[in-house]
Structure 1
Amino acid sequence: MYPDHTPQRAVEVHHPTPIPPPVVHPAPVVPVQPGTVPTVASIVLPDGRVVTGYTIDPARPEPVTAKPAVSRTAVNVALGGVGFLAVCGGLLLLTSFIAALTAFITQLITLAAVIFGGWIAVQVLSGSGHREGGTTVNIRKAVIKRNKFFG
């Protein structure tokens, strides 16, 4: 490049962007029950201007309710204790019922075993009685000599 030559830069021109005026939305109309229309008050300022508007009722604090003699926490704890005792009593009755049912079933099984065992014993040990459909075999001394059977 040449020593006395300086590069020229392009000039940037900025044009301001106009800001549109704000869009004004009309205030919403609050429906008022007939008979409850608030009163309009006017105030004259020291410079002579008059300001007119609706009166605003000051915020009233809620009335303080009297505290109960017993706190709610104490009542909840007491009710929880009563419920726990009721559940424990119910569980005790349930376990007693299960134990009684188990004993009853055990007695029934024992009774059935005694009756069935007695019936089996009577059938096996009874020698008298006519048996039908069976084959009676009398075993005698048999002698086998030289592959010959003598009966």
Structure 2
Amino acid sequence: MTRPDPPTTIEVHHPQPLTMHPPAAAPLVPVQPGPPPAVQSIVLPDGQVVTGYTLTPAPAPAPIETRPAVSRTAVNIALGGVGFAAVCGGLVLLTSFIVALTAFVTQLIILAAVIFGGWIAVQLFGATSHRDSGTTVNIRKAVIKRNHFHG
């Protein structure tokens, strides 16, 4: 792309003020008091008189129902999206907290199962051969008289 050559001459235009002649004052037409005449005359500023019938004013048009540029549904959907985006950070933190809490409770349950299982194993497979904790009595020569034990 090539650059155009710079202009060789510069033209300067000076604005010329417009001279305006004030309009001539219209002659006043006397109006008689009373009901308006059936035919009405109007004097224009240049002195001409226009005569015509009176016009009844046109009824005002019915107001046009204006609709907003954007529908309310679209605005509500957009605001819902903005609110959801604002909450997403908190939802991520809440989800992370729930996952961590679930892992912690799971580890507590496993720890309790290991400890309780170990206690049961010690009870079943303990080093002692006696299962009851009562006193052991070796009876060699016992005499029983009248349902009474003499040892």
| TM-score band, normalised by shorter chain | 0.3 to 0.5
| Larger RCO of the pair (alpha carbons < 8 Å, separation 6+) | 2
Compute the TM-score of the two structures, normalised by the length of structure 2: 0.35
